[in-house]
Amino acid sequence: MSENQMTVAELGENIRRELGKVIQGQHDVIEQLLICLLARGHALLEGVPGIAKTLMAKTLAHVIGGDFKRVQFTPDMMPSDITGTNVFDAASSTFRLRYGPVFTNVLLADEINRTPPKTQAALLEAMEERRVTIDGVDHLLPPLFFVMATENPIEYEGTYPLPEAQLDRFLLKIVLDYPSEAEEKEILRRYQSGFDPHDLTTAGVRKLVTSPEELQRCWDQVGSVRVEEGVFDYVAQVVRRTRGAFQVSLGGSPRATVALFKCSRALAALQGRDYVTPDDVKRLAPPVLRHRLLLEPEAEIEGVTPDQIVSEMLSGIPVPR
């Protein structure tokens, strides 16, 4: 690597600094979004309205030099509203493709559980295949294609919950909480000073990535992070243990094992290491697994959460040395 090329750790630190100019707090959320980006996955965000999910996505897109689009999902949305469609041009008597919002770099899919399963599936297919099929013709999406889909944890009326097989397509489920009192006061001070969330340039947010090759080098760095045999075993044990866990009717699939492996390498690279530790695996097990565990009805009634089950499970698995 030449001297003027940023490492993953340097890029991650710089992105955190730029996001910090407009986002107060949410440090764990930002780290997990960076892990998703570096592991080339997609994120499912759960949080109440008004905690800067849109601003976070728009700012991240700006910092990494990507295009940003936001889609508000509604019950009447059709798959073609996501992927695009061929429209007839009367002037030339030909059909031309009207590209849908998936043809972007960073897509915020707001309240994905408010749209019918057929439309959800259109987006999830694009996420998985990184291409869409329109009238029998395949169209590739950009190499940088990162989806941040949101769910409102409060309102369930008029929603279409994502099936387990579709939830499994998201690399991480990231839970956003309210800012602390001190952070909320700092938000007010920023607005008093003239902060405008619609004007990132005035806020001083810089573009850090100027070419696709820079991100490709970071992806290559993540791919070169070493994983020792003992950590391999640990990753597999963590996910396999969920399949027979008490109060769990459906555990993590092999896709979950791969997700935990990829995310652990991304976290190691963000921290400037070229090797994965068991602590990386333990730290990422909750966001990797929380949306992939289907609890028994009795556990849900008792208020048991997937995070509690993952925590108890991790305490019973020997950590490799």
- Asked if pLDDT for residue 113 goes beyond 90, the answer is no
Q: Which residues pair with 173 in a beta bridge?
A: 44
Q: What is the pLDDT of residue 157?
A: 62
Work out the average pLDDT over 242-264: 91
Q: What is the pLDDT of residue 158?
A: 58
Phi then psi dihedrals of residue 96, to 5 deg: -130, 150
Q: Are strands 106-110 and 146-151 parallel, antiparallel or unpaired?
A: parallel
- Asked if pLDDT for residue 223 goes beyond 80, the answer is yes
* pLDDT tens digits, 12-56: 999 999 998 888 888 999 999 999 999 999 999 998 888 888 888
Q: What is the pLDDT of residue 154?
A: 65
The structure tokens listed for 144 are 């940088």
Reading phi first (left if > 0) and then psi (alpha if -120 to 50, else beta), residue 3 is in: alpha
Q: What is the pLDDT of residue 196?
A: 81
Question: Rounded CA gap, 12 and 173, in Å?
Answer: 20
Which of 133, 76, 73 is CA-nearest to residue 107?
Answer: 73
Q: What is the pLDDT of residue 25?
A: 85
Work out the average pLDDT over 83-104: 83
Domains located in the chain, CATH noted: 8-193+211-215 (3.40.50.300), 225-315 (1.10.8.80)
- Asked if pLDDT for residue 237 goes beyond 90, the answer is yes
Q: What is the mean pLDDT of the chain?
A: 88
Work out the average pLDDT over 240-244: 90
Identify which has the larger pLDDT, 121 or 37: 37
Query: 15: Cβ–Cβ under 8 A, 6 or more apart, which residues?
Result: 30, 34, 60, 63, 64, 208
With a pLDDT cut of 90, the percent of the chain lying above it is 46
For Cα atoms 258, 260, 265, give the angle at the middle one, nearest 5 degrees: 95
Question: Rounded CA gap, 148 and 259, in Å?
Answer: 16
Q: What is the pLDDT of residue 165?
A: 77
Query: 88: Cβ–Cβ under 8 A, 6 or more apart, which residues?
Result: 94, 95
Phi then psi dihedrals of residue 316, to 5 deg: -100, 5
Cα–Cα distances in Å, from 12 out to 34, 166, 180, 277?
A: 7, 29, 24, 19
Q: What is the pLDDT of residue 1?
A: 46
Identify which has the larger pLDDT, 251 or 38: 38
* pLDDT tens digits, 137-188: 888 999 899 999 998 776 666 577 787 877 888 999 999 888 889 989 988 9
Query: 127: Cβ–Cβ under 8 A, 6 or more apart, which residues?
Result: 42, 145, 147, 169
